[in-house]
Structures are given as structure tokens and as C-alpha cells.
Structure 1
Amino acid sequence: MSFAGVSVVADGKLLQPSTASAIYSGTDSSGSWWYHLLVVQGYSRTKNLLPNGERIKGCSFRAGGYQWALELYPNGDVMDAAGFMSIFFILDQDVARPVKVQRQFSLIDEVDKQQPAHIRARKARDFCAHNDGWGRSQFIKQEDLEKSEHLKDDCFTIRCDFIIAEAVSATFIEVGADVMFEVGHESFAAHRNILAARSTVFMAELFGPMKEGTTAGAIQIQDMEPNVFNALLGFIYTDLMPKMTTVFYQKKMTKVGGEAEAEGGADEVTWLQHLLIAADRFDLQRLKSMCEERLSEYIDLSSVTSILGLAAHHHCRGLKEACLEFLKVQSAAILAGVMATSDWQHISATDPSVLNELITKLASKA
């Protein structure tokens, strides 16, 4: 999967940044799959300014060797769609032969609709000429959007996933970073609109009333290793699970979820724990879920208490349950050893409910 840019609509108008947004296109092992984000800021004003049948066209973006765009009709594209929001995916160039595309629209936090199997199940459509488009005339009822958690601070984000059957081999990168971060002794350039589209925390920090950072200074990120922040940015731009770097934690680091210090090795469990903390900190729920799933594969006697402490502290219900299920099947002698560790004592002191849940599970085993 590759990221194909972001369009930002504010108060009924497409924002045209002075510098280009980053656009990444390419192919991965699963085929020519991209996604583009459409961020709507000031939804109420946008809805009032554009009557039924009037649209906002997003930025033209390149993917698979072709130019594309999204069109948003805040009050529906036709009379039958009045009271709904309409969204369309269009070909933004002339072509010599049809381009076959599968596409799926979702709101940014509808993760289940963004899975590969879901998108590949969609019927492929031929795009034959400039402005050819397919979409959802009744994408979402306005009343439903306004009552939902998708609308936050009068803003929401639509995600368009699409697979091109025969993409033109191309890689296209436009650099136009407009925000700088300093993490430890390293600096990272990024794009405000992209960060804000993926994270409500970045949205508040970069565009809210307490917004941080200007073009003259960098935003300081405290209590995070540069490698972790770099991985976080990688996920934001690609939507792929980051890989652990070989230089991660070659120095003495504070243990996750406790006070003790441990000599760092390039250890996958520690890497995933710190990445999960970062994902939770910046409200990247998809990345957090991916870390939970991976960590559940590493639960054993050497890691269960640290993973359990992390899961309890960061409200990872599924991961916590997996740890308790692992402990449930252990012998009494092994459980006694686990409960004698400093990690378990820390968990018991900070979240007594964990012990109660374990007791309940052990009782059901008897």
C-alpha cells in the first residue's frame, strides 16, 4: 500500500498550500494499491456554503502513472441525494485506453473497510477519459455524520483506497515539508496537513488554538527515541507496519511500564512496546492495534509481565486478555514466581483489577 497525498478543504474551499504536499506512489507485493485522504475542516460552514449539486474538487494527485482527484458534494450531487454527502473518484487526465480500478471510500477510523480483502471484493470499473468518475452518491447521511464520532471539532476525514489493475510503473515524490520536529539530537521534516489528517493529536498541535511550531522553529518531542518517532512518521505516510531498526536501543534505556533500567538489546518486544506507546500518544489507533497483534505473538514467561503492564496502562483490552490467558494455564509454582517479580508488584500497585481478573480466570479453570 502506498500513500497518494492529501487534500484539505476548509470552510468550503480547497486549500492550496504554498508548498507542494508530499505524494508517494509505488507498488508493493500485494499489487498497485494506494490511498488518498480528503480532510474537511469547518464542516458546518462548508455544508451551508455549497447547495445540492455543487462540488469541491480536491487536489490532483498521481498514482500508478495516472492523475486522479476526489470530488466532494457536501449536500449531495443530485436531488435524490439531498441530505447526504456524495464523494467521487475521478480520472484527471486523458488516456489512450481504459484504466481498470477497484476503489473503496471510508471514514478515516473505519479500519475494517480499509482491509485488502474488502477492497479487492469491490467491482472494478473502467476509467476511459478525463473526468470519468465513480463514487457514492449517498456516501453518508448528514444527520448520521453529525451525530457520530467521525465528526470531531467540526472536522472529518474521508479515505479513498484504490487498486489499479495495470499501473504504470512510476515513483513520484514531491518535497514540500512545512514543519520540523526535533527528537533527541535528530531532526525530522514533515507535512502538517498529512500529520493532521492521520492524527487528532497532531491536528490539535498543528492547527488548534494551542498550535505549536512555526516555520522559524522546530517542535520538540520529549520522552521518545528518534528511531521510534521516525517509525511513527513512516506509518503515517505509508500505513504500513514499521520494521525495527538494527540500531534500536543499543544504549541503556528505561524499561517500558516500570522504573528499572535494563541494558538495551535490539529486541523486538521492546521495540513494539515503545512503538505502541508512541501510537497511543498520538492517537494512531490502527498502528496501536498492529503493535498489540504483534506483541501477542511474543508472550512468554520472560515477557508476560512487561507486556501485561503495558496493556493495562494503555487500555489494550485484547493484549491484556492474551496475557491473562497465558498465565491461566501455568502451574502454581510458575505463577508464584511471576507474582514475586518487581514487574508484577508494579502492575498490582497501579492496576489492582488485573489481579482480580486473573483470579476470576483461575477460578473458571478449576
Structure 2
Amino acid sequence: MSMSALLSALRAAGRQQLSASTVATRQATGSHLLRIDGYTQVSKLVGKGKRMRSETISVGGHDWRISCYPNGCSEKYEGSHISLFIEQASHQQTEEDPTIKVEASILDQAGMLSYTKTIPEIRASAYTYWDGFGWNDFISHKDLDEEKHLKDDCLTILCDLTVVTEQCTEVALPPEPMVWAPAPWPSELHGQLVEAIWNKEKPDVTIEVGGETFVAHRWMLEARSPVLKEDLSLTSDLHVANMDAEVFKTLLQFIYTDSPPLVEEATTAEKLLVAAHRYRLGKLKLVCEEVLCRHVAMDSVVATLVLAEQHSCPVLREACIRFLSSPGNLEAVVAADGFDLLKTGCPSALLELVVKKVMRQEE
């Protein structure tokens, strides 16, 4: 669960002044390729304790560079080893010392890693910034294979650097106390009673539907719909899925006014019927059934009958059965590939139609 969702749930449960903080670390990774051409000659020219530096790279808010000592950097390893270090070039001051992870590899002729050393984790400090992070004995001269590591007298070193910087904290403060003043009642709700309710009591429920947000009164929704009463039993912020905002707006208007909307289009009536069935608003559902009864036709009757079966609409079902019982209509629907839909979507209605047809033929 996301922090915002968790905050919403806990505040809805009564912890209105809940604050929160998120603590995490930031990690950045960068890589750099250091190539030394003519390595044999370079190693002769660069004396013991002398280094060669790469260009700087930026990782984790700091600048870094690779320092390579072809003949070693300390008395113990001078003349026998290559020394390799990652140094901080910027010496940026930070509140917390970063943690560094280093991996350095020599590439073979095919560009594959053939020799690798790793520093799993080390915390940088002002002292280590200057000395760098790495190895006095990165690789001995005798282990440096001319065929494998020095193709065309070229030494290629790949360095991977990971910088884990200071902890960061995201803070979520408690919400400011709400100062409520009577708001204009929504334009989608009509009537003097609605206006009186809206001006007297502040809305205490927020409902998000289809990308829009509605506010309403809990007591009104719970009194009108047992489904909404159950949905709002644990929260004041409701999210309604699988419904258009316009449909819910019409539903809300009916809940407040008990006045059925003026619906003419079959598509709108279907959506509103499904919503009314979902929230057990019988009066609104019956209005939608009556509208759809007027739209029953050859090209829509099967889909309408399936809708009636799925949402327990006896008036609409009877209208569809009556239409299909008319001479020639059932045959025409079957010929138009409507039989499979009837069989799977409303088998009881299909059986009723077949029985009626058989009875007519026997008369």
C-alpha cells in the first residue's frame, strides 16, 4: 500500500492529525573506462610512485577520477604491482559521509571482464577523500598477461562506482483544520428541499467516480441506498469503479430529489439501469426499464433481454419475450446469429419462447 493510501485509510479511521515520514537512501551508479595505449612504454616513463589520472566522472553528486600507478604507489609494491584508486575530485562537503562501493576490472581482447577486484562497501570520510579508495596491489606485473590483458600493447580498465548518499526523509504533515462555510449546492442537484439541505449541513462524504469528485451527505446516501450505507460504513472517501461520472451525477440527483430523470436514449437508460440495480434503487430502475421497453427492436432485443435477465428486470424481460413471441421474430433473431447469445445469456427465456412457440403450433 502506498504512503498516501495508508494515510487516507488511517485518517478515515479517526486519526485526523496523523503525520508521517519516509526514510530511504539514494543510490547512484556510474562507470568509467580507462585505456592506456602503449602501456609498455608508458610504464617505463612513469616512475615508481607516479600516477596517471582519468577525466572526472560525476556519480551521486560528487566528482571522481581513476588514478593508476603503473609501477605501484607504495614502497612495498613499487616496481612489482599496478596500484589503482578511485579518488574524489570535487571534495564536496555533505552532511553525511557517503558509502562507496567500487569494482575494477581489466578487460581481455574480446572486451570481457578477465580480472576483477571489489571493495564491497566503505564509508568515505575527509581522510579517505584525499587518499582515495582502491588497491596498492591491484595486479602484479607477473600476472599481467600480454596476450590476454595487453592486446596491441593496450591496457583497458573498467571501473564501476556506486555511491550511497545521505538518508532522505519525506514528510507528510497532518492536514490543516478545515474551516467550513456553506457552499453553493451543486448545479446537478435541483429543488428547494435539496437547496435547504445543502445550505444547512455541510457535506461529509467524498465520492470519486470516473475522474470526477462529488461531495454528499452520509445520512442521505445511507437512508436511500442500503448498498451505499454498507460501502460508507468504514470510510468517508468512496471510490466507485466501472461507472461514468454523468451516470453517477444522475443517480445522485435522484437520491436527493426522488425525482426520476428525463431519459430518452437507450444507451443512457441501460447505464442508469445497471447503476440503479447496483445501488438497489428500485424506483429509478423501473423508470429505466420502461424507457428500454420502448426501444425494443429486432437489432437490440437479444442484448436487452440478456440485460433484463442479468439485472432482474421483470418488466423489461416480459417486453422482450412478448416481442420475440410475435410471428417470425424469433426465427429472424436465430437466423441473425442471436441463438447462441440467447442460449448462454438467458437460457430460461429461450426455453419459455420455445414452449410458447410449440404451444401455438399445437393450437
Please give the range of the TM-score, normalised by the shorter of the 2 chains.
0.3 to 0.5
Higher helix share: 2
Normalising by the residue count of structure 1, what TM-score does the alignment of the two structures yield? 0.44
- Relative to the length of structure 2, the TM-score reads 0.44
Q: Which has the larger radius of gyration?
A: 2
